[in-house]
Every structure is written in structure tokens, then in C-alpha cells.
Structure 1
Amino acid sequence: MTSPPSLVIFDNDGVLVDSEELSTQMLVDAAREYGPLAMELSEAMRLFRGRKMAECVAVLSERLGHPLPEDFTPNFRARQAEAFRHRLKPIPGIHEVLWEIRMPVCVASNGPREKIALALSVTGLLPFFEGRIFSSYELGTWKPDPGLYLHAAAEMGVAPADCVVVEDSVLGVRAGIAAGMRVLAYIAAGDAEEFHVPGVTRFERMSELPALLR
């Protein structure tokens, strides 16, 4: 029997906000403006889930056969922000979960702080995480490196062993494990991505999370 954690560290995309498919399809569509690109959404999700933007752009450039322009990323970020304002939704059940668990929480994401804050704001989640947002862009290390999770725990004053990470990507799961934290993998129903990592508990409905934290 595990004891309740002192801190729950949430990933953002795909865990708090339902942004993975929206952002990934937009990214592929944006790249197609620069040439033919044979890439289905399912493949793009596998390739890009949890990865930093520079790596995604490198993969797309390789597939296109030429580099994407330097302004590709800022232009995409602007489009993504506009889409978030009008179309982004929270993960079903996450509001209720955050009210129920009644324990310290923070968010640690590979995304830029501005993107994280916007996503949380438009979905009504920002009050749960105000002042407790940690971005890889501010630290200079990206998952699967454990640095972001270790930094978040240190800033929150909690030992890694007393933290639980809630993730939806293989890279994030590996980062949590490497940080010495307990990891819960949220795999939404119908998502085929597999986590072959010992000690990782998988769950398909956010409503299951409170029981897993007790």
C-alpha cells in the first residue's frame, strides 16, 4: 500500500487540457504549406507526443526534404494560441478531480510558459496552478530528462520520493521514473500508445485518479 503523495505534478497537454490532437493536426497542416507531406494524424501523434517543438520541426523538415523557414515556429505558435482561445477544452473530469484531491499540485510541461498559462486560462484551470507552473523552456532541459520534474519538486519543497507524476507520453513517463517519482500514466480510451515501463500505473478515465492517489 502506497501512502498519499505530498505533491502531484501534472503534465499539461493531454493530461489537463485536450490539446494533443488539435495541436498535432495544426502542426502537420502548417508544414504542408511548404510541400507535400505524407503523414497521418496517428503517426504524427506517435512521433510528436511530449517532444519539444525543435525536434518536431526537425522531423517535419526531414520528411519534407528541406528545412522549414525560421519563422515557422513563431507563426505556428500564434495560430495555435488563437485556436486554443476558441477551441481548447479541458480533459473530461479534470475540474472535478482537482477539487476532490485536495493536495498540493503543480504543472510541469515541455511547452513554453505562455502556452501553458493560456491553455490553463481558457479551460478554467489556471486558479488551481497559479504560481505553480514550471516550463522546460525556462530550465533548458526537456523530458525525458528528469530535470524539470526535479526542479518542480525542489521549488515546491517536496522530496522526489514523495511526488506523483501524472503523464500521457512515454517521454514524460521516463522523466518521472528517472526523477525517482511514482508515475501514473493517463491513457485516454482508444489511445493505442503503450507504456512498457515497470512500475507505471495506467488509467483511462480521469475520474479514477483520486483513488490512485490515496
Structure 2
Amino acid sequence: MLPALVVFDCDGVLVDSETIANRIMAECITAAGLPITYEDCRSRFVGGTLQRVIDTVEQWLGRPLPPDWKADFETRRDAAFRAELQPVPGVAAAIETIRASGVPICVASSGNLEKMDLTLGLTGLKEHFEGRIFSATMVARGKPHPDLFLFAAEQMGQMPETCVVVEDSLLGTAAGIAAGMRVLAYAAETDSDALTAAGGQTFTDMRALPGLLGIGATARMGAAD
């Protein structure tokens, strides 16, 4: 049975932004007096909101970050996005196949709307999601809480148990499971075992996504095997 709704995370699922953003984040946190590596940023912060990052870093530092830290980080990150950002390989074709099947899609991300407007616009994906983009800023609690995915399902007129989430982070996978949704966990750059332990069904090639949803030739071939 096809899902009633496919809910996409944005960073790392639609746009290949995690490497860029976490590189800049490590540089900015280190400059603020807390040496941290790209790898540590990626393992600790992927899937969460920027405010979650700020709160955590300030707790570690034992003092507030400079007043202009957030604005400086976003300016540097967005400049790097404009220079480097690409869609996740294979995702555009997967989206087109899903839409052609008649299954509705939306985005539910920890990023704010301005960031998604930039990243989805730069990668040519925004047109697929116009009017169906939801941010953690719209709910009381971000991932790993289920609030954002439940809100997206409600706004799209669907029951949670009929929805499928496409995620790449542990926080997002936990949020989808907590919402009562099936989670397809994209593990191209995230530990597959950890995503599985969090409740996700892992895959590493976006070209396989329609088949995992029961759409198209991939699903038919799988059924025949």
C-alpha cells in the first residue's frame, strides 16, 4: 500500500548541505573559544535546530556566545551554500517519480523557512514543495520530539500512521518513530547501525526511494524476487 504522505527532512536528504554547514559551524565555534572538529559537530548536532547548537555550546563554554555569533555563522554558511550547494544525488528524480504516482510530499525540517527558501531554491527543488514546507520554528519542540512531523501530517490532512518520513539523522529518525510514522533513514553519510537502532529502515541510494515506498518498477521487481 502506498503511503498517504511522504515527509522529507531537508538538510542531508534533499540538499547536500551537512558537510558545508558543519565545516563552517566548527570554524565559528572554535573561533568563539571552544575548539571543536567538523566530525564532532556532525555527530553532535545534525538534525537539531541552530538554537539547540547555541544552547549546547554556551553550556560547554559556561558563558554566552558573542551577540553577533549567530548572524556571523549564518552569513558565512549561506555564502558557502551559494558557492557549493548541490541537491542530494538522485533525489530530484526520486521526487518526480513520487509526485507522478500521486503521493503527496512535504518538507519538515529543523531549519528555518528562510534557510530552506535559500537551499531549496539554489538546488532547484523548491518548486516541488511550494506551500508545503514546515519548520521546527512552527512548533513548541524540535526533533527528537514528534511535534514537527505531527504538525506536518495535520497540515497535510493525513493521519500519522499513514505517513512515511525520509530522514538522515538520529534526532529526526527518533522524531519520526515517536510520531508513529515509518522512517526511511538515508544512511549515505550517517551510521547505518545507529539509524537502525533508532527505528529507521536504512538505505544508501536515493534512486531506491520510490521502490521502498512501493512506487514504480523497483517495487515490482522486488515483489517478484
**Please, what TM-score do these two structures have when normalized by structure 2?**
0.87
Deviation at 1:75, TM superposition (A): 2.0
Q: 2:97 aligns with which of 89, 96, 100?
A: 100
Q: In structure 2, give the amino acid aligned to 1:23.
A: A
Superposition map of 1:50-69 within 5 A: 50-64=47-61, 66-69=63-66
Structure 2 counterpart of 1:192: 191
Distance 1:97 1:162 in 2: 20
Report SS of the residue matched to 1:172: helix
Q: In structure 1, give the amino acid aligned to 2:122.
A: V
Q: In structure 2, give the amino acid aligned to 1:35.
A: G
Distance 2:42 2:16 in 1: 13
Deviation at 1:197, TM superposition (A): 3.2
Structure 2 counterpart of 1:161: 161
Deviation at 1:207, TM superposition (A): 0.8
The number of residues matched between the two structures is 210
Matched, 1:181 2:181: yes
Distance 1:140 1:89 in 2: 31
Q: Is the 8 A contact 2:98 2:210 kept in 1?
A: yes
Structure 2 spans left out of the alignment, 5+ residues: 215-225
Superposition map of 1:1-214 within 5 A: 3-35=1-33, 37=35, 39-64=36-61, 66-102=63-99, 103-188=103-188, 191-192=190-191, 194-197=194-197, 199-214=199-214
**Deviation string for 1:148-187 (max 9, x for gaps)?**
1111011111111110000011111111111111110000
Distance 1:63 1:146 in 2: 27
Report SS of the residue matched to 1:174: helix
Deviation at 1:40, TM superposition (A): 2.3
Report SS of the residue matched to 1:165: strand
Deviation at 1:65, TM superposition (A): 5.3
Distance 1:86 1:199 in 2: 35
**How large is the Cα RMSD of the aligned pairs?**
1.6
Report SS of the residue matched to 1:195: helix
Q: In structure 2, give the amino acid aligned to 1:159.
A: M
Q: Is the 8 A contact 2:146 2:178 kept in 1?
A: yes
Q: Is the 8 A contact 2:25 2:41 kept in 1?
A: no
